[in-house]
Amino acid sequence: MLSRFYALRKLKRFGFVRRCSMDFVSKYQGVVGRVFRNDNSSSSEDSYVERLLDRISNGVLAEDRRSAMVELQSVVAESNAAQLAFGAMGFPVLLSVLKEERDDVEMVRGALETLVSALSPIEHAKASKNEVQPALMNSDLLSREVENISLLLSLLAEEDFYVRYYTLQLLTALLTNSPNRLQEAILTIPRGITRLMDMLMDREVIRNEALLLLTYLTREAEEIQKIVVFEGLLRKYLASSKRKEDCLELLNNLLRNIASNQVLLRETMGFDPLISILKLRGSTYKFTQQKTINLLSVLDTINLLLHGGQQTDPGKDTNGVANKTVLVQKKVLDHLLVLGVESQWAPVAVRCMALQCIGDLVVSHPKNCDALASKVIGEEPHVEPALNSILRIILRTPSVQEFVAADYVFKSYCEKNPDGQRMLASTLTPQPHSMVNAPFEDDVNMSFGSMLLHGLILSESDGDLEACCRAASVLSHVLKDNIQCKEKVLQIELEAPRPSLGAPEPLMHRMVKYLALASSMVKDGKAGTSGPMYIQPIILKLLVIWLFGCPSAVQCFLDSRPHLTYLLELISDQTATVCVRGLAAVLLGECVIYNKTSDSGKSAFSIVDAISQKIGLTAYFLKFDEMQTSLLFTSAKPALARKPLTRSTAASMSEIEDVDENETTDQKNEDHPVLAMVLDSQFVFFVKELEANIREQIVEIYSRPKSQVAVVPAELEQNSGESDKEYIKRLKRFVEKQCLEIQDLLSRNATLAENAAKTGASGSSQLEHRGTAGSERVLVETLRRDLHETSQRLEALKAEKARIEVEASTHQNLAAKLESDLKSLSDAYNSLEQANFQLEHEVKALKSGGALPIPDIEEIKAEAREEAQKESEAELSDLLVCLGQEQSKVEKLGARLLELGEDVDKLLEGIGDDMGVPDDDEDEAE
C-alpha cells in the first residue's frame, strides 16, 4: 500500500498522472495532480498527509495509529491542500478501517470524523470560482461507489453513539454535495430508507440528524417519499406528542401536492396532532424563536392541506374541500383567529400566515364562509364579529404585510359568495358628519359597513390617503361581480365636509376626488404625505371593478363632467406610472362599452370623439400595450403566492418584526408587495379580456359615424301638397347632411394617418407597429365590410354559374343522343338506297335482254327478307316475345282442350289459311 502512495507521489510531481478506471484512487488523481502542480505550497501538506496515512495503514501500536488518525482529522479540517491530498490517497485507507476494524471503536470514530472533515468546505478559505473545491471533489469520489454508501448505512446499526452520529453527519454532507448520487444509491440498497427511519426512534441528537437527512432526501425525490410513507412515518413518529414538532418540514415534503398522503393522514392519524401545536397557553404565552418556527411550520402544513393535491382540474379538488371541512370541524378556525387577530403580541410573520390560512380555509367553500361570518372575537361584554376585527387590522396596522394578508381574507370570503357580499353591503350606512373626524378608537361599536365608510373618508382630516386606499381595496372585493351590491353602493351619498360647500355627493364621486388628490400630490412631490405608490392603483382598481358590467355606475361616473376631463389628463400624464395610465385607460374604455346614455357629451360616441381629439386613438391604445408589457403584468402571480417553507426561512421570518412601508415610497419601485396583491394573475387576466373588448368596441364606434340624419325612406318621397321646388330644396339639404358625414369620416381617416405617421417617425419599429394598430383596425373594418359584400356577390355568381353549367350539360347530352339517332337513320337509309339502286340496275338489264344471268327469284326474296329482318331486328324482338307468350298460351289451352275431350286439330283447321293467300298472290304477280 505504501509503495503505491510513493509511486503516486512521484507521478504527480512529474505531471504524468493517468486515469485508471479499475483503481479507486486514480479516479481523481488527474485533477489532484493539476492542483498540486499549480500550488507549490501544498507539498508539505501532501507529505504530511502521506506520512499520517502510512502510520494508520502500517502502524504496529494501536495508540500510534489512533494518534495519527486524530492528527489527520485536524489537518484535513483546516487545510484545502490537505483535503485534496486526502481525496487522492486517503479514502482506501479509511474505508478499510471501517470495513475491517469494527471492534476498534476509537479508530472507527476517528475515520468517520475525518471523512466528515474531508467533505466539509473550509469557511475561512477564500477560493476563487475557477478553483477546484476539495469538499465537492471528495464527495463525488466517495459517492461514486454504491458499496461505500451501503457500508455507511451498515454503521447505523452500531451500538456506539458517536459512530451513528458521525455516520449521519457524513451522509448529510454527501447529500449536500452530491444529492442525486446519494438518492440513487439509497434507493438501490435494500432497507436503506428503513435504516434511516429507525434512527428517528433514537436519542434526540441522533433523531435530529436523521430527521434533517430525511427532510433533505424527501424534498424532490418522489420515490423516497413513497417509501417513507409506506414505512409508516406518519403513524410511528407523529404519534409522539414530544416529537411531532420536529418533523413538520419532513411532513410538509410528504404532503406537498400529494393527495394520497393527505388522505392517509386525514383518515389515520387525523389533524389533531397538528392542531394541538396551534393552541396558545394563555395571554402570557411567550413566542420564543423555536416556538415561532414551530408555529410557522405547522401553519405551512395546514396551508398545504387547504390547497389539496395537484389536480388537473382545480374545480374538482375534492381532497382539498374535504380537508377544509374536517379542519373547520376540528375548530382550527378558532385557533387561527386567535393567532392572526386576537394575539397582537404574536410575531408579524405568524399573524400574516394565520390570516392567509383563514383566507384559504374559506375560499370557494360556502359553509366555511358562513362559519367565519358567525365568529366573534373577544370576551363578554366586549365582543365583535371576526370580520369587523379583521377590517380594523386592515385600517390600523402599520405593517404592509399584515394589511396584504388581512385583505386576502376578504378577497377569499367574497369570491363566489354573493350572499356574503350582499350581507356586507347591507351594512354600508354613512355616519353623521360629526363622526368623520373621529379617531379609529371610536369605531368599536360601528357596523362593518359604517367602519368601512369611516375608513374611506377619514383622510379628509389630514390628507393621508393610506386608510382610504385600504378601505377601497376591501370595497372592491364586496362589489366584484355583484350587480346588486354595485347598485346598492351607488345610492350611498356622503355629506359635504362643510354644509356651505354644497349638497351631499355620491360615494363614487368622493373616490374620484381622492384619486385626483393623490395624483396632485404626486405631481407636487408630496408622495410621502399621500402614502405609498399603490394608492392610485387600488382606487383605480375599485372604479374598474365598479363600472364593469354596470351601466348605472357609468352613468353616475359621467354625471360629473370634470371626471371625463380628469381621466383624459391622467392617461396623458407622463409623471404617472405605466400601471396608473393603463388602468385609467381601462376605466375610460368601460365608460364607452357600458354606456347606455344618449345625452350629448356623455354618449359613447362623444367619449370616443374626446379620446380622438385629446389623446389620439393610437396613443390611447399604446397605454394598453405599455401596461401589458410592464413588469407588473408580465410577472403577475396568484394572490399571496410563496415558496415552500424550510426551517432556515422560518427562522429568518421569525426574526422579522415589521417592514416599514415608508421604505418603499419610490414611485418607480414596481416590486411592492401591495402592488403584487392589486395586480395578481386573476385581475391581470380580467384586464386583458376587458382590454380586447374595449379595443373592438371603440374601433367599431369610431369607424361608424354618428347618425346625424334619420334616414327614413318616406323622407325621400315628395309630400302631398309639396311643390317641386320645395321638394328639390329638401332633397338638397338631405344630400348636404350626407356630405357632412362623409367629410367627418375623411377627417377621422386623416387624423389616423397623421397619428400613424408620427408614430412611425419615432424610430422604434415596435412602437410603429403598435401605433398603426388603431388606424389599421379602422381600415380593416371598412375592408371587412367590402369583402363581405363582394363575397356575397361572388357566392351568387358561383351559384348562377353552377346552374348554367348543369343546364348546358343536359342540353349537350340531349344533342349527342339526337346526333347518334340521326346517324343510325342515315346509315339505314343509305343501305336501302344502295339495295334499291342495285335492283333497278338488274331490272333494266333484264328488260334490255342483257347477258346477265337470270337471278333466282326465291333467293332474292330470301335475301331481301333477311336484310329487312336485320334492319328491323329491334322492332321484331318485342313481337317475337309477344308471339312466344301467345304460343305458350295456345299450347296450354290446347292441353286443356285435350283434357276436356275436344279435337284441337279440328278447332285449328282453317286458321292461318288466310295469311298465306297474299303470299301466293304476290308470287304470282312477280
User: What span, in angstroms and rounded, lies between the C-alpha atoms of 213 and 220?
Assistant: 13
User: pLDDT tens, 331-347?
Assistant: 999 999 999 998 888 88
322 vs 43, more confident = 322
According to the model, what pLDDT value does residue 821 have?
80
pLDDT band at 759 (very low <50, low <70, confident <90, very high): low
What is the pTM (predicted TM-score) of this model?
Answer: 0.67
According to the model, what pLDDT value does residue 239 have?
52
According to the model, what pLDDT value does residue 698 have?
87
Average pLDDT over residues 621-632: 89
The reply to whether 475 and 572 lie within a common domain is yes
Report the CATH number that the domain containing residue 29 is assigned in CATH.
1.25.10
What mean pLDDT is reported for the chain?
Answer: 76
Residue 134 near residue 84, CB atoms below 8 Å: yes
pLDDT band at 284 (very low <50, low <70, confident <90, very high): low
The reply to whether 537 and 626 lie within a common domain is yes
911 vs 140, more confident = 140
Average pLDDT over residues 818-829: 81
User: pLDDT tens, 35-61?
Assistant: 334 444 456 777 888 888 888 888 888
Average pLDDT over residues 675-695: 88
Nearest residue to 481 via CA among 425, 554, 431, 546: 546
The reply to whether 623 and 746 lie within a common domain is no
Lowest mean pLDDT among 142-151, 506-515, 653-662: 653-662
Q: Per the structure block, which three cell numbers stand in for 176?
A: 449536500
According to the model, what pLDDT value does residue 11 have?
32
Q: Per the structure block, which three cell numbers stand in for 337?
A: 383567529
The reply to whether 608 and 746 lie within a common domain is no
- Three-state DSSP state, 493: strand
Report the CATH number that the domain containing residue 531 is assigned in CATH.
1.25.10.10
Bridge-partner residues for 378, per DSSP? 383
Q: Is the pLDDT of residue 662 over 50?
A: no
User: pLDDT tens, 457-493?
Assistant: 876 655 678 888 999 999 999 999 999 999 999 999 8
Average pLDDT over residues 154-176: 89
**Residues in Cβ contact with 162 at an 8 Å cutoff, skipping those fewer than 6 apart:** 109, 112
Average pLDDT over residues 739-761: 63
User: What span, in angstroms and rounded, lies between the C-alpha atoms of 90 and 106?
Assistant: 18
Residue 473 near residue 409, CB atoms below 8 Å: no
According to the model, what pLDDT value does residue 918 have?
46
Residue 382 — φ and ψ, nearest 5°?
A: -95, 80
User: pLDDT tens, 687-741?
Assistant: 999 999 999 888 888 776 555 444 444 556 667 777 767 777 777 777 777 777 7
Longest CA span, the chain: 164
Q: Per the structure block, which three cell numbers stand in for 535?
A: 394608492
3-state secondary structure string, 244-268? HHHHHHHHHHHHCECHHHHHHHHHH
User: What span, in angstroms and rounded, lies between the C-alpha atoms of 612 and 441?
Assistant: 50
CB atoms within 10 A of CB 576: 20
The reply to whether 730 and 692 lie within a common domain is no
According to the model, what pLDDT value does residue 472 have?
93
Please identify, among 805, 831, 846, the residue that sits at the C-terminal boundary of a domain.
805
Please identify, among 189, 221, 242, the residue that sits at the C-terminal boundary of a domain.
189
Name, of 211-220, 241-250, 600-609, the range with top average pLDDT: 600-609
The reply to whether 490 and 620 lie within a common domain is yes
Expressed as residue numbers, the domain containing 743 is 724-805
User: pLDDT tens, 474-483?
Assistant: 999 999 999 9
According to the model, what pLDDT value does residue 311 have?
55
According to the model, what pLDDT value does residue 187 have?
83
pLDDT band at 586 (very low <50, low <70, confident <90, very high): very high
426 vs 290, more confident = 426
Residue 385 — φ and ψ, nearest 5°?
A: -60, 145
User: What span, in angstroms and rounded, lies between the C-alpha atoms of 371 and 373?
Assistant: 5
The reply to whether 74 and 9 lie within a common domain is yes
> Which residue type occupies 531?
G
In a domain, 276, yes or no: no
Whole-number percent of the chain with pLDDT over 90? 20
In a domain, 490, yes or no: yes
According to the model, what pLDDT value does residue 422 have?
94
Overall number of domains in the chain: 3
User: What span, in angstroms and rounded, lies between the C-alpha atoms of 731 and 150?
Assistant: 104
User: pLDDT tens, 485-542?
Assistant: 999 999 998 876 555 455 678 999 989 998 888 888 776 655 444 456 788 999 999 9
Please identify, among 189, 213, 243, the residue that sits at the C-terminal boundary of a domain.
189
